[in-house]
Structure 1
């Protein structure tokens, strides 16, 4: 699906920040009560990262991605991951052309800006690995020839936290490639009433234009945001705080595999992006705390006995955030 043309580029960082903040209001025209998820997706785009979306069926994961793409004037495609999906179905493949008697490359759905990888844990590891390689390299290599993906490019992969039958869970090394994990909870009662009222009034999820969703930002804003976030200052004490949080997860008896240095680097990047979106030129410990759960929870591997006792990654991070001293 190709989104409508966006607004003119905003070369200044302040204009980009206003546009990206306005995204939440624009997405809310179609998706109710998911401001935190929208913020997480925007942060991932600023950080040039990918997102793991987790939620039960029916909480508007697909609608959220489609609406975000429209509001950002980005191209988006959706792939339903199934057990018979092959790597070439995602990345593209060489196809014989009878007219030229030569093989030509046919692009796969990864050649887009926002790729919705629906139920990524339902496809075999070989296809998962092919996608994750594309995520890391941001290119597809076929017959020795690399083909760059569009900019920006992000994979938004969904998985159902309830159903495990017939799935291939992502191993820890592959989960670590996702910048953040965004959970979409069931809406509270008032939001659910609001959703039904919209549908009763004729809301059609397939017609975002009728819902009033319009482009309020574009690729130029994302690039300006990346450049500005990279200039956000981080004091050595805050860097040490991030390292202490990561090291604390490795020392807990309930944790089999704690946060790696890659995870600490990811937390630094997301905290800087959040500080910039908040209008500051420096990172505070509160910025680190605000992004710690989304950035680190999928990077923790718990011991089986701890999981049986009800321990979760969120409870581990809650404990770490309480016990690790905060710099003043």
Structure 2
């Protein structure tokens, strides 16, 4: 990985935005900060600290989206979170990488789906997780050496300065995208250059440029129910957004677009077939409508979009 100035990534993120976006709604929730423009929603994790004094409250709606996104470079954590959410509102909308990412349909807690997905690859490895995820110690147990780094550590964690000592020797690193907000990402990515690195969390922007910073996988979210997401965040929801409005998905930045599309199509097809069987079993015992019918419809629509995208990519390569 070539050396980068710490600000270069943030400039690249801002370069992704057009000048015509307008902010329609902003919310700073207990856990999630959300920004909505004319067509989409962006997420970022809210700061852990509280304040009663935000001088710009009541002035953000109607502003230029790119102007607000510039706050991602602020050292004020509330401004930086809003800036990150504004970036994601445009970057993650109609994004081919988002659409081709393989959605995860976990058996257990959806907020830990990424760890469940990668767990088979971690056997015998030195694994470092940056940021504590609720319940991780129960889901990510196995025959590997696990260390969790946390800015506000529990008795089972190490403080974040330990990154300087541990990441150079790590073989797998799970890096929370909130590091983009607190500006630790450039250094942590540099320290992790010998590892397989997963940039993860709802704050993650779906961009190929992270490959230039040593990121091997993006594990962000796909928003499948925007209004439910907003309601859950308004009502103080944290991990509950994974039950109501978003799902994790994985993009392998080492693979080409067609390979990613194949993986996404296969994952959604299998999930759809499972729902179809569940629906058949439901109607054998009930007269009421199948409760998962809306989920099945969403999967059908997503599969149709992916099939169209695959055909476009294939035709582009073979014409």
TM-score (norm 2): 0.27
TM-score (norm 1): 0.26
Greater RCO, 1 or 2 (C-alpha within 8 Å, sep 6+): 1
